[in-house]
Chains A and B, each alone.
Chain A
């Protein structure tokens, strides 16, 4: 099958492109600069340019759409252009050539409105209630993508991976690790809130599974996680330990949480153009409230289970960073 992957220069996008390639698909990657993945053809261009998108989509049987605007700065209009309009361009281009399979990569934040999430399933995106420009525009984008399902030969599903991490993750792992090495990684209260995360190859597998199962699961959205929620303390500790730092013990009581929020905001500053979910307010919230999901439907519908457990993931990380630092 000919598959186009948008946003293949990001960590997850790269894993997805390689996984599809390894599964025997003819894979192309679409982004502004070449992704440089062995065995994956590069198509450069911009999501905001309809013509670029049409060119990339031409002749593809399927599209895995990961590219998104995730910067913390900039007016909401920019998010709209990339996240909503970009998705619309993909959908229109696919429809124009008679349809195809679309796996739209979304985010659990599209259905998250600030409260804690304790064992919930996948719920509907609500752009009006989502809390950040990123979440609002991703919610609208998911609605655009899902609305196309069944129209003009389209089969669409959305996958919402929750907090993806893995080796080479400059965002979460290396930032937390680096900060922990300086002894400046705080925990809110005791860091007891349970959060779900997903090891990157599991997320890539889930996306490939969604493409394989799209005849059965089109029209449905799925939150995907490792199904092993851990306390924030445990996750942050695991990242820190993997890069050879002490597990953070510095506790900030929630009475000074607002200040902590600011620290975290700086901590999670995002480099512009990086194709991963923003880690500012989003993760700050995660540091103090539970976010974990019921994975039973996801696993049953996608016929997928994570191959790498959280603890195994930590071990892979540890080896990765210990060889790198030598």
Chain B
């Protein structure tokens, strides 16, 4: 029954490492473009300015918008695969989640209603980010954005001690609750949610062979529960395939195209 170790994680970590290295390369000023010009959320922040005056806000440009469109189409096909296979912040969050193993035998996982309520906070972050960006025409919340703070090295737009406090809270949060930022605060994740729910590629459970051992949920970075459903439609599934890696029964969890 015990199947061989799946190489998917190493494939995924390799791709994530490449994207992290590319972002770092751009952040160090080696490329022609700023690392920020590849952030899909910049596309969201551009929409109002483009609609009203036909101009991009601040440092944003057409690449932000076109990458946003690319990843939204991706979400319609493969849910939040961008988060699990490309996002540098998601990767750092996942590495942080691995570090939590040093502090916790079993990391605390807010469950049930608490978890669901906390996940709504990212919609508040999304609305606030867009409201202030549209109102001011500037990326005034970049001082609280871990992507900007980490890769710019607290560059122009950071808010000194306030930015340090926010980043410290996010790091401590990541060491207590796995994927803290992605789960509860990421406005890009909130943008993906309605698209991700429609995603065609899903984790599908075979009820006849599944032993309900819960190993899949224990390994899921997002603490989702594939063992509780037949098709994992949850909008937070990043298709990282950790659940399939963890499953001791061959074929009990599979990657399928299904409505």
Q: Are chains A and B native binding partners rather than an unrelated pairing?
A: no
